[in-house]
A and B are shown apart, each in its own frame.
Chain A
Amino acid sequence: MDTKGYEVIIGLEVHCELNTKSKIYCSCRSSFGAEVNSQCCPICMGMPGTLPTLNEKVVDYAVKMGYALNCSINPVSKQDRKNYFYPDLPKAYQISQFDIPLCEHGYLDILVDGKEKRIGITRIHIEEDAGKLIHDESFAGTLVDFNRCGVPLIEIVSEPDLRSSAEAKAYLDTIRETVIYLGISDGKMQEGSIRCDINVSVHKPGEPFGTRVEMKNNNTFSGAVRAIEYEAARQIEVLENGGTISQETRRWDDLKNCNFLLRSKEDAQDYRYFPEPDLATILLDEDHLKELKDSIPELPNKKTVRFMRELGLPEEDARQLVESVEKAAYFEEIVAAGKGQIVPKDAANWVLGGISRVINETGKSIAEIGVSAGDLAELIQMLEKKEISSSAGNTVFEELLKATGKHPKEIVAEKGLAQVSDSGVLQQIVDQVVAANEKSVNDYRGGKTNALGFLVGQCMKASKGKGNPAIMREMLLKILNG
Chain B
Amino acid sequence: MEMDIKRLAKLAKLKFTPEEEEKYAAQMANIVAMVEKLPDLDASGPLIDPDNPMEFRHDEVEKKYSRDELLANAPEVQAGCVVVPKTVAE
A interface residues, Cβ below 8 angstroms from B: 20-22, 27-29, 35-42, 45, 47, 53-59, 76-78, 85-87, 99-100, 133-135, 139-146, 216-217, 251, 262, 270, 272, 275, 279-283
Nearest chain A residue, comparing its CB with the CB of B67: A37
Are A282 and B54 interface neighbours, CB within 8 A? yes
* B59 near A22: Cβ-Cβ < 8 Å: yes
CB distance from B36 to the nearest CB of A (A): 19
**With A85-B13, A282-B54 as contacts: A36 and B81 at CB distance below 8 Å:** yes
| 8 Å CB interface, B53-68 against A | 53-54, 56-65, 67
Q: Are A28 and B63 in contact (CB under 8 A)?
A: yes
Closest to A251 in B: B90
Complex contact B62–A27 (CB within 8 A): yes
B63 cross-chain contacts in A, Cβ below 8 A = 27-29, 39, 41
Chain B residue numbers with a CB within 8 Å of A29 are: 61, 63
User: A residues within 8 A CB of B29?
Assistant: none
Residues of chain A lying within 8 A (CB to CB) of residue B85: 141-142
Residues on the A chain within 8 Å of B87, using CB: 86-87, 133, 135, 142
Residue from A27, A28, A134, A251 within 8 A of B81 (CB atoms): A134
A28 to B61, alpha carbons, bound, how many Å? 6
* Least distance between A21 CB and chain B CB atoms (Å): 5
28 cross-chain CB contacts under 8 A: A20-B59, A22-B60, A22-B62, A38-B80, A40-B65, A40-B67, A41-B70, A53-B57, A54-B54, A55-B56, A55-B57, A56-B57, A56-B59, A57-B59, A76-B50, A78-B47, A87-B84, A100-B46, A135-B87, A140-B86, A142-B84, A142-B85, A142-B86, A143-B82, A251-B90, A262-B90, A275-B47, A281-B48
Count B interface residues, CB 8 Å.
Answer: 37
Q: Is the CB of A143 within 8 A of B78?
A: yes
Min CB distance B3 to A, Å, is 14
A100 to B71, CA, bound (A): 36
Nearest-Cβ distance from residue A43 to partner chain B, whole angstroms: 10
A270–B11 touching, CB < 8 Å: yes
What CA separation (Å) do A77 and B76 show in the bound complex? 40
A143 to B70, CA, bound (A): 15
Give, as a whole number of angstroms, the nearest-CB distance from B23 to chain A.
24
| A36 close to B80 (CB less than 8 A) | yes
**Smallest Cβ distance from B25 to chain A, in angstroms?**
19
Q: Measured between alpha carbons, how far is A146 from B83 in the docked complex, in Å?
A: 12
Bound state CA distance, A39 and B85, in angstroms?
23
Closest to B50 in A: A76
Q: How long is the Cα–Cα vector from A53 to B53 in the complex, in angstroms?
A: 13
**CB-defined contacts of A86 to chain B, threshold 8 Å:** 87, 90
| Chain B residues closer than 8 Å to A57, beta-carbon distance | 59
CA distance A279 to B58 in the complex (A): 15
Residues of B within 8 Å of A134, CB to CB, are: 81
Residue of B nearest to A23 (CB): B61
CB < 8 Å: which of B54, B62, B78 contacts A281? B54
Instruction: Choose among A45, A262, A272, A280 the residue that contacts B53 (Cβ–Cβ < 8 A).
Output: A280
Instruction: Flag whether B52 is at the interface (Cβ < 8 A).
Output: yes
| Smallest beta-carbon distance A370→chain B, Å | 33
B42 interfacial by beta-carbon distance below 8 Å: no
A280 surroundings in chain B (CB, below 8 A) = 49, 52-54
